[in-house]
């Protein structure tokens, strides 16, 4: 395999957002796995909350921590009471189903009074029938309305009386901060109406999506991903991640695995959720058009370069997105963005020289790949023109690029 072919495999195509998952248990990267599940056993788990630390014994040091604990318990109880009626369990019947038993399961939440329910694309992918169970035990069939493999989102619809529908409000995921407490409600391992809580561990992550990159091979990337340590496991896919106001700030999507329980990947304290602001942007379009189109640059790139590469390539700074390849005929190519030049005898394990270093988009700093993908995902539409600020041969350049729709094969 030559150097160029190697980079095509190890780099993520930066053709705008890319969200990713796949069939049950498919790895999304080192140790990352989807949260939908096959039918399996139901292991017991136990969660322990933080224990207030008193600087010294005595009444003066016990009252305040106890009050804080009571307030948090009351808040979590309220969130569950108000939100659980809007969370559903989804059973998926497909080619591998056996008689009355489904071959997959996930979660979802009620979006509106018209019966629309939001879940993950990978939950409903390939489904022949979808069974939805509400918190009160009501079971109905659902139909797929629209799918978005690029954002791993899907909308399904049920026909039930309005009093059965309890839509959950969408929050503003841009207001999240690392350390905010968040709550997940879903159906891990088939254990319906399970609630867990934790914190926002990181923001602006990027993951591989299920959207294939057409003739270029590989998959697009998905951006604006929330990382959390709230316990989420197979079966949580598509369920809501809520803030302490009971607003949906994310859709639980995948985990970084740390072990296996009865053949299923288990949570290692690192979970990922699609941001609510992407949901707010994509879902209305899925309802009306059945699909969503993301903007496309047409580059493959690396971020977080090792110091050895930074020094060898004489890059003036350690952050930014280094362009390794530009797709011929793509918006980036037409705008003059430069990719790296792999020498004929180049080492496939060495970053090749000559690529532009993208350090900003429309004036917004780009320190990591997630910054670029996240901005394209949530702020840009096909046909828009963005300005990429690049460092090239020691010179800082502002290059306008008119993005197009992603060239992909529709599922």
pLDDT score, position 175: 96
Whether the per-residue pLDDT at 170 is higher than 90: the answer is yes
199, pLDDT greater than 90: yes
> Could you report the per-residue pLDDT of 248-269, keeping only the tens digit for each?
999 999 887 655 444 455 556 7
pLDDT given for residue 361 in this prediction: 97
- The larger pLDDT score, comparing residue 27 to residue 182, is at 182
> Model confidence over 52-94: pLDDT tens digits?
333 344 444 444 556 666 799 999 999 999 999 999 999 999 8
Q: What domains appear along the chain, each with residue ranges and CATH number?
A: 3-16+294-405 (2.30.42.10), 27-38+168-289 (2.40.10.10)
97 vs 311, residue with greater confidence = 311
* Cβ atoms < 10 Å from Cβ of 111: 24
Catalytic residues: 122, 152, 237
Q: Residue 258's pLDDT is what?
A: 56
Three-state DSSP state, 292: coil
DSSP 60: G
Q: What is the pLDDT of residue 401?
A: 97
The whole-number pLDDT of residue 65 equals 58
User: How high is the pLDDT of residue 257?
Assistant: 64
Does residue 410 register a pLDDT over 80?
Answer: no
316 pLDDT band (50/70/90 cuts)?
confident
Lowest mean pLDDT among 164-178, 224-238, 326-340, 376-390: 224-238
User: For 207-227, what is each residue's pLDDT tens digit?
Assistant: 888 887 766 667 888 889 999
- Residues 369, 227: Cα–Cα separation, whole Å: 15
Q: How confident is the model at residue 33 (pLDDT cuts 50, 70, 90)?
A: low
Judge residue 21's burial from the number of C-beta atoms within 10 Å of its C-beta, 0-12 exposed, 13-18 middle, 19 or more buried.
buried
What is the model's pLDDT at position 38?
A: 47
pLDDT at 25: 30
pLDDT band at 122 (very low <50, low <70, confident <90, very high): very high
The reported pLDDT for the residue numbered 9 is 35
Compute the C-alpha angle 26/226/266, nearest 5°.
40
Closest-CA residue to 219 (of 31, 5, 4, 406) = 406
Mean pLDDT of all residues in 107-122: 97
What's the mean pLDDT in 404-409? Answer: 82
Helix, coil or strand: residue 223: strand
Q: Say what percent of the chain tops pLDDT 70.
A: 77
Is the model's pLDDT at 30 over the cut of 70? no
How confident is the model over 343-372, as pLDDT tens digits?
656 666 788 899 999 999 999 999 999 999
Query: Which segments of 313-403 does DSSP mark as H helices, in order?
Result: 331-335, 369-379
Task: Give 270-299 pLDDT, tens digit per residue.
Answer: 899 999 999 999 999 999 999 999 999 999
Mean of the per-residue pLDDT values for the chain? 81
The larger pLDDT score, comparing residue 69 to residue 302, is at 302
* Of 1-5, 316-320, 393-397, the least confident: 1-5
Which stretches of 43-86 are DSSP H helices?
Answer: 63-83
What gap in Å lies between CA 250 and CA 354, rounded to an integer? 39
For 140-160, what is each residue's pLDDT tens digit? 999 999 999 999 999 999 999
Band (pLDDT 50/70/90 cuts) for residue 109 is: very high
Task: Report helix, strand or coil for 248.
Answer: strand
121 burial level (CB within 10 Å; 0-12, 13-18, 19+): buried
Beta-carbon count within 10 A of 318 CB: 11
């Amino acid at each position: 395999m030559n150097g160029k072919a190697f980079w095509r495999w190890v780099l993520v195509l930066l053709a705008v957002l890319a969200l990713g998952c796949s069939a049950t248990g498919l790895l999304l990267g080192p140790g990352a796995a989807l949260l939908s599940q096959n039918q399996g056993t139901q292991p017991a788990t136990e969660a322990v909350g933080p224990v207030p630390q008193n600087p010294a014994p005595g009444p003066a040091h016990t009252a305040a921590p106890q009050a804080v604990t009571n307030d948090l318990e009351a808040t979590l109880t309220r969130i569950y009471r108000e939100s659980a009626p809007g969370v559903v369990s989804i059973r998926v019947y497909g080619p591998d189903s056996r008689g009355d038993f489904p071959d997959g399961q996930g979660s979802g939440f009620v979006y509106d009074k018209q019966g629309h329910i939001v879940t993950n694309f990978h939950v409903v992918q390939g489904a022949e029938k979808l069974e939805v169970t509400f918190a009160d035990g009501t079971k109905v069939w659902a139909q797929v309305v629209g799918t978005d493999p690029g954002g791993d989102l899907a909308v399904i619809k049920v026909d039930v009386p309005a009093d059965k529908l309890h839509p959950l409000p969408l929050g503003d995921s841009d207001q999240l901060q690392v350390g905010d407490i968040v709550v997940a409600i879903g159906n891990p391992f088939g254990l319906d109406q399970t609630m867990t809580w934790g914190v926002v561990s990181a923001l602006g992550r990027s993951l591989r999506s299920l959207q294939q990159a057409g003739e270029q091979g590989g998959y697009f990337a998905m951006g604006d991903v929330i990382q959390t340590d709230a316990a989420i496991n197979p079966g949580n896919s598509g369920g809501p991640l809520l803030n302490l106001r009971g607003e949906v700030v994310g859709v639980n999507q995948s985990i970084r695995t740390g072990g296996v329980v009865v053949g299923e990947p288990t949570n290692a304290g690192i979970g990922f959720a699609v941001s609510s602001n992407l949901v707010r942007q994509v879902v209305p379009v899925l309802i009306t058009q059945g699909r969503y189109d993301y903007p496309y640059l047409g580059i493959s790139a690396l971020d977080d370069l090792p110091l050895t590469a930074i020094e060898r390539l004489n890059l003036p700074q350690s952050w930014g997105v280094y362009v390794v390849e530009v797709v011929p005929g793509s918006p980036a190519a037409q705008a003059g963005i430069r990719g790296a030049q792999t020498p004929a005898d180049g080492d496939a394990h060495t970053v090749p020289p000559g690529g532009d270093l993208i350090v900003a988009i429309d004036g917004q700093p780009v320190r990591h790949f997630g910054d670029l993908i996240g901005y394209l995902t949530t702020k840009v539409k096909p046909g828009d023109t963005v300005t990429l600020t690049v460092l090239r041969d020691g010179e800082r350049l502002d290059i306008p690029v008119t993005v197009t729709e992603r060239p992909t094969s529709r599922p």
